[in-house]
Structure 1
Amino acid sequence: MKTGKLLLKSGLALACLALFTLTSCIDDFDGGGPKPKKVITLFGSDFPANDGLHVNGKGTVFASNFGKFDSVKQKYSGTKVFKIKRNGSISVKASGFEAPMGGVQDSKGNFYFNNENNDDGISGVLVKIAPDGTSSQVGEIAGWPSGLAIDDYDTIYVANFNASTIHKVSPDGVISLLATDNRLFGCVGIDVDKEGNIITSNFYNANILKVTPQGEVSLIANIPDTTFGFAIGYMTILDDYIYATGINENVIYKVSFDGTSEIFAGTGENSTTDGLLNEATFSQPNGIAADEKRKILYISQFDEPGLRMIKL
C-alpha cells in the first residue's frame, strides 16, 4: 500500500492516529468479548525512519533513521532521529548524524543513540541529546554498536553487530564491558527483563540470548526457519514475552522465556497491509518497541517505509 500520505485504512485507524493509542479507540468490544488483535498502519510511505524504536513513559515514540545504502557514497543515508507524539505529530529530535541506530531515553529526558558506525565495522559513537537539544559524545565503542536498552536505574546496555560484546553505560557516562562471548557477535535487538537480565537477539542466526548482570551468557531460544545473515532486526519485551522482527521473513515472532517461539503476526508476504494478525503483511519489519503502560507494540519497516501498531 503506497500512498505518499498517511496510510489510514478506515475511520477506526484515523481516530487511532488522532488520539495515538487511546485504548478505547483500539480495544473496543463486541458481544461481550474483545475484538481480534489487528495490525494498524499509523504512518505509511512518508514515514521518515526505518531503524530502532523507543517508547517513553508518556507514550512518545522515538525512531532512528539508519537510511538506505548509497552506492555512490558507500554509506547508509540516514541522518536523523524523530519524535512521534501520541497526537500523531512528528518532529526531528536530532539531525546531522551518520546512520543513527537504536535509541533510549533516560529518566532525566536525555536521549541516546549510536552514530558513525555506518558499515565500517571499526567503531561507533554513543551520542547524548539533552532535553534542550544540545548533543555530546558519551564515548566510542569498538565494533558496530547497534541496539540500546535502559534499565530502571538509567544504566544503558549496548549490543554490538560487529563484536562479541555487550557494553554498559553508567548514568554518569562511564562505558564498561559487561560480557564477551562469541554468541554475542551480530546482536542488534536488546532489552532488559523484569529481573534485570539483558535479553538480546542475533541479527545473523536468530538466537535469543540472556546476559545476567554478572555477564553470564546463555541461550533462551533459536527461532527456526529464518534467513541466515538477515534474521532478526530488533526485539522488545512485553508481558513476559519477547517480540522480535523477522526482517527478511516479513513477520513478527513471539518467544517465551522457556524457549518456544511462534509467528505472532504477518503472512510472510513483503507488503504493507493492515488486518488481523494472521492476515496482515509487513515489508521488512525492523525496529520494534513496547509501550508497557498501554500494551502496544510499534514496528518500523526497513523496505517500504511505515510505522505499524499492534494493541495487545
Structure 2
Amino acid sequence: MRAVLFLIFTVCLVLPGFVLGRDPSKIAETNSPDGKYALSATMENETTLLIEFKNKSGKTVGKITVSDFDGNDRRSGITALWKADASAVALNIDRGANISDCRVAANAKGSWVELPLPKEPVQKVRKAGNTQGGKAMDHLSAQSWLPGQRLAVSYTGNNGTEYGLVFQLVRGWKQHLEYQQTITVKGASSEPRVVNELPCTFHVFAGETEGAADGAGVTAQFKNPSGLAIDEHGNVDVADRTNQTLRRISPSGETETIAGTAGEHGTADGAGKAARFWYPQGLAIDEHGNVYVADTSAKSVRKVTPNGQVSTLAGGFKYPTAVAVNHEGDVFVTDSSNHVIQKIAHDGKVSVLAGKPGESGAKNGHGEEARFHFPNGIAIGADGALYVVEHSSIRKIDGKGNVTTFAGSLEEEGRNDGTGAAARFWGLTAIAADARGNLYVADHELKNLRRISRSGVVQTMRTAEHNDLPLQNPMAIAVDARGRVFVADQNTSTILLVEPVDISETTAK
C-alpha cells in the first residue's frame, strides 16, 4: 500500500511537516477555493513524491514530482497556498532534514502546469539574511499572493527581516521577476542578543558543490552530509545522507567512499560498495575503529568494520538519528520519533535507557520517568555521562539513569549565551564532546555553533572579526584530539574546520 501525505491549507505560515504512513482511512485532500480541484500527494517509491491535481470527476489534470523526499522524516510535509480565484497555487515542500522547495503551478484552461522559479535570484536572496536577533528560518516559502497575479516568495533572516522576491504571473503562465523588496516582519524580535564570544578561525575542509565525487579538499562532493565522527588517526567519517554512503576524509583532506553506492539506498549488508544505507545520519567510532551508523529510514543501527564490512547491529527503531559508543562497546541511540534513548549492550541486547516509547514530553527523572521530545543528538562526555540534545535543551543522563537538564530550557527557545539554565537554544541538531569536558553543539535554526564548558558556561563560536560563522544548516559536529571542531553544513554540502583561538588550552594533555 502506498503511503499518502496530508496537504494542509494555510494562509501564509509554513507549518511543521507530517510523518508518512498514516491510517489510510484518515487520508485528506486539499481543495481549491472554488471546489473544482483537489491536491493529493503519494509516495511513488521510497524517495519520490508525486503531487497530483484532480478535477471534480477525479481525473488527474496536473502533476509535480519531488525527488529525494524522505517521508520517514518527521519534518517532511507540504503546505499549500491557493490564490483566491483558484488560478494558481504555491506549495512549500519540506523534503525532510530541513530541506525545502517552493513550487508554483497555474491553471491553464483546466490543466495545471508548474512554473519554473528563477533559482539564481532566490539563492542570492536566501544568503542575504544576517544573524542579529529574531528567529532563523532555513527555507524559502510562498508567503502571500499580491494584487495583479503576483506571488511573494520570501526568506526570513535571523534579524526578523523578510527578504522577498515578487513574481508576476503573465500570459502564457510564465513568471517574470518583477522586483526585489525588503519587508520588516511584524512582531519580530529586536532585542539585543547576549553573546559570550569564543573567537575562532575556520576554513572549508572538504566539499564545495553538491555531488558524489571523491577527491582532495574542495574537489570532493557531498549531498546533505548529516553525520560526523573522528577516529584515533584523525580520519573524519561522514554520513553522506542523500548519497546513501559512508565517506572518509583523511587528515590531509582526501575523501573516499568506504561503504555504500551513491544514489542507491536499501538495507543490504555486505562489503564496501555492495552494502546499502537508507538516509544514514549520526555516526560514532569505537576504540577498534568500528563505525556505528544511525540508519534513519532503515530504522536500524549499522556497524562498519575497519575493512568496510557492513552489518546490521540492531533494528526495530522508529527513527534513529544519532549514536554514541563507550569503552565497553555499548552503543546508545537517540530513537527520535519514539522519544527515547535506547541502549545496545555489547552482547547485542537492546533496552530503553531513558524515556518511555511513544510518549513525548519535557520532564526530568529516572529512567522511564523522564520524557524527551524528538531527541536529535547524543555524545559521551569526559565524565562518562550521556549528553542528549533536543530542540532547545541539553539533557544529561548519569551512570544511574538519572535525567537532568544540563543547559538550556525544556520549554523556552532563545538566542542568549549564559550558564546552565540561563542559556537558550533554538534548534539543536548535534552534539560532540572533547577530552577536557567541553561540549559542542550545532544549532540549525540560529545557524551557529556553541561551546559549553564543564561548568555549563555557554559561548557562541564566532570569527575573529566577531561575526557569526558562515553556516546555513549545520547538521553534524565532531571534535578531534587537538580540539579542532568539524561541522557538516547540509545546505552547502561542505565540511568546515573550526579552530577556537584557545585551542591549546582545550587540547587534552
Q: TM-score, normalised by structure 2?
A: 0.46
Question: Is the contact made by 1:160 and 1:166 (CA closer than 8 Å) also made in structure 2?
Answer: yes
Aligned pairs for 1:151-170 within 5 A: 151-170=326-345
AA at the equivalent of 1:243: Y
Distance 1:258 1:108 in 2: 31
Distance 2:389 2:398 in 1: 15
Query: Are 2:265 and 1:79 aligned?
Result: no
Tell which has more relative contact order, 1 or 2 (C-alpha 8 A, sep 6+).
1
Identical positions, percent: 19
Counterpart of 1:42 in 2: which secondary structure?
strand
Runs of 4+ in 1 over 4 A off after TM superposition: none
Question: Is the contact made by 1:38 and 1:277 (CA closer than 8 Å) also made in structure 2?
Answer: no
Distance 2:446 2:317 in 1: 30
Q: CA deviation at 1:54?
A: 0.3
Residue equivalent to 1:193: 381
Which deviates more, 300-309 or 43-52? 43-52
Residue equivalent to 1:281: 470
Could you say what the CA RMSD is over the residues aligned between the two structures, in angstroms? 2.5
Residue equivalent to 1:18: none
- Structure of higher CA gyration radius: 2
Residue equivalent to 1:232: 428
Counterpart of 1:102 in 2: which secondary structure?
strand
Question: Is the contact made by 1:103 and 1:112 (CA closer than 8 Å) also made in structure 2?
Answer: yes
Q: Structure 1 residues 131 and 279 mapped into 2: Cα distance closer, same or farther (>3 Å)?
A: closer
Distance 1:225 1:44 in 2: 31
> How far does the alpha carbon of each residue in 1:207-241 deviate from its partner, in whole angstroms, 9 at most, with x for none?
10001122211101117426x99701111112322
Q: TM-score, normalised by structure 1?
A: 0.73
Aligned pairs for 1:129-144 within 5 A: 129-144=304-319
For 2:461, which of 264, 274, 281 is the aligned residue?
264
Structure 1 gap segments, 5+ residues each = 1-35, 68-77, 267-274
Aligned pairs for 1:1-312 within 5 A: 37-46=200-209, 47-48=221-222, 49-67=224-242, 78-95=243-260, 96-115=276-295, 117-118=296-297, 124-180=299-355, 182=361, 183-202=371-390, 205-222=391-408, 224-225=413-414, 231-238=427-434, 239-265=436-462, 276=465, 278-291=467-480, 293-311=481-499, 312=503
Counterpart of 1:162 in 2: which secondary structure?
helix
Question: Is the contact made by 2:442 and 2:476 (CA closer than 8 Å) also made in structure 1?
Answer: yes
AA at the equivalent of 2:382: K
Counterpart of 2:299 in 1: which secondary structure?
strand
Question: Is the contact made by 2:244 and 2:279 (CA closer than 8 Å) also made in structure 1?
Answer: yes
AA at the equivalent of 1:235: I
Question: Is the contact made by 2:414 and 2:426 (CA closer than 8 Å) also made in structure 1?
Answer: no
Distance 2:316 2:438 in 1: 30
Distance 1:253 1:196 in 2: 21
Question: Is the contact made by 1:126 and 1:138 (CA closer than 8 Å) also made in structure 2?
Answer: yes
Q: CA deviation at 1:255?
A: 2.2
Q: What is the number of residues matched between the two proteins?
A: 251
Distance 1:153 1:276 in 2: 43
Distance 1:65 1:230 in 2: 25
Q: Structure 1 residues 59 and 258 mapped into 2: Cα distance closer, same or farther (>3 Å)?
A: same
Question: Is the contact made by 2:461 and 2:469 (CA closer than 8 Å) also made in structure 1?
Answer: no
Question: Is the contact made by 2:383 and 2:437 (CA closer than 8 Å) also made in structure 1?
Answer: no
AA at the equivalent of 1:247: H
Q: Structure 1 residues 297 and 277 mapped into 2: Cα distance closer, same or farther (>3 Å)?
A: farther
AA at the equivalent of 1:217: V
Question: Is the contact made by 2:476 and 2:489 (CA closer than 8 Å) also made in structure 1?
Answer: yes
